[in-house]
Amino acid sequence: MKQNKIYEYDVALSFAGENREYVEEVASFLKNFGVKVFYDDFNQDEIWGKNLFEYLQDIYQNKAKYTIVFISEQYKNKKWTR
């Protein structure tokens, strides 16, 4: 029998820093409705001192049920989104 995986987050938000203002609105909206959301500014104490590439990859692949990607011109040009 397959067990349901328990995720730390319902959704993780992936975005370019240039789009932070809009994404923060979305993150706050989701949080206000009880969605467990990974948004980097909500988790600064956990992120501090970590290798961000590895840390975020683990969040997006293993700890969040879904990842919402905010695709923009800036996002496609970032090194870490490749």
**For residue 81, what are the CA distances in angstroms to 10, 76, 78?**
21, 7, 6
- One digit per residue, pLDDT tens: the chain, 82 residues? 446 789 999 999 999 889 999 999 999 999 999 999 999 999 888 888 888 888 889 999 999 999 999 988 887 777 766 6
> What pTM does this model have?
0.84
- Which strand ranges, in their side-by-side order, compose the sheet holding 64-69? 37-38, 9-14, 64-69
Structure tokens at 16: 């370019």
Distance CA 77, CA 18 (A): 11
| Geometric angle at alpha carbon 36, from 14 and 39, rounded to 5° | 30
Distance CA 39, CA 74 (A): 18
